[in-house]
Structure 1
């Protein structure tokens, strides 16, 4: 334990938690933007203008399925991982594994641009790599083990 009764948090965990917060903020912003566009009456309609409908799906997914609670869960997990709670660390690994496998598949089915297919894979792999470092595992170790 460091001075002042605060527990030392390894750099890898702090970087991962910053990533959690950044992704959560982007998800929350996208959800609010999509909700605003949908409530405005969809004056911009890519399908009517010869587009693919990809934007329509993304807006519906973000607003109608409300990614904002998922963003809140992600930020909550980040806070708990920073505190060193083992269950949050395991939940985070499951979350990033899900994101790293399902989002590229969804982007492939929807024929999204290559960057949108690869970004979730690299982001999730980076988060898992940070969380799997020995320092992060020790910080979030189960006290019963």
Structure 2
């Protein structure tokens, strides 16, 4: 324990939790924007204008399936990882592995822009790399409190 009764949180965990909150905030913002577009009525129809249905899918996925609960879970996991809870650390590794594999596959199937294939992979790899450092593993170790 550090002074004041607070547990020391390694820098790697602090950076990862900041990333959790940033990605969660971006996901929530996108979900709210998509919901606003869907509620206001689509003024642009890419399919009717010779484009792809990618924008329609993204709006549906963000607004109808609501990425906001997923963003909330991500922020919740970040808070729990900062506290050093082992189950949250494991769940975070699973989440980032899922995001790092499924997002580029989905972007490839939907013929999305190339940046949407690489940015999630880089973010997920950075988060997993930070969570797998010895300091983060020690901070989130499943130790019995005697």
* TM-score, length-scaled by structure 1: 0.97
Unaligned runs of 5+ in 1: none
1:15 aligns to what SS in structure 2?
Answer: helix
Aligned to 1:107: 107
Give the CA deviation at 1:62. 0.3
Q: Deviations over 1:117-137 (max 9, x none)?
A: 011111100000000000000
* CA apart distance, 1:47: 1.6
SS at match of 1:135: helix
Q: What is the alpha-carbon distance in structure 1 between the residues aligned to residue 7 and residue 48 of structure 2?
A: 56
Which range moved further: 43-52 or 63-72? 43-52
After TM superposition, the runs of 4+ consecutive aligned structure 1 residues lying more than 2 A away are none
Alignment correspondent of 1:22: 22
Question: What is the alpha-carbon distance in structure 1 between the residues aligned to residue 55 and residue 16 of structure 2?
Answer: 29
Q: CA deviation at 1:46?
A: 1.6
TM-score (norm 2): 0.97
Q: How many residues in Structure 1 have an aligned counterpart in Structure 2? A: 145
Query: What is the match of residue 35 of structure 1?
Result: 35
Per-residue CA deviation, residues 9-55 of structure 1 (Å, 9 max, x unaligned), is 00000000000000000000000000000011111222222221111
**SS of corresponding position for 2:128:** helix
